[in-house]
């Protein structure tokens, strides 16, 4: 997140929180703070980073895009 009053600095964070709220948070009721925290962690690790397609990654989830990028850079370095 960037400076106060510069909306473009926060675009990535705002996009993430929008997806978090619409895809997970608004569909659940949480018994307590720990249940909500655990659900957010599971959403990020099991769905958002591992399976959810992202337009900026040509439809790949971030984890797969990162793995492919690392494979490409290792092949170039070798």
Tens digits of per-residue pLDDT, 30-46? 999 999 999 999 999 98
The CB-side HSE value for 13 (13 A sphere, CA atoms) comes to: 8
Q: What is the pLDDT of residue 11?
A: 78
Q: How far apart are CA 4 and CA 31, in angstroms?
A: 34
* Block residue for tokens 């997970």: 24
* Block residue for tokens 């569909």: 27
Domain ranges of the chain: 9-77
* Stated pTM of the model: 0.65
Q: What is the pLDDT of residue 70?
A: 92
Q: What separation in angstroms does the CA of 46 have from each of 37, 75, 76?
A: 14, 28, 30
User: Phi and psi at residue 59, in whole multiples of 5°?
Assistant: 85, 5
Mean pLDDT per block of 10 residues along the chain (78 residues) reads 67 85 91 95 89 84 90 85
């Amino acid at each position: 997140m960037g400076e106060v009053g510069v909306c473009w600095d926060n675009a990535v964070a705002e996009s993430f929180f929008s997806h978090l709220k619409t895809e997970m948070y608004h569909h659940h009721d949480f018994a307590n703070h720990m249940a909500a925290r655990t659900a957010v962690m599971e959403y990020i690790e099991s769905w958002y980073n591992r399976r959810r397609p992202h337009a900026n990654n040509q439809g790949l989830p971030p984890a797969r895009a990162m793995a492919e990028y690392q494979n490409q850079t290792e092949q170039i370095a070798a």
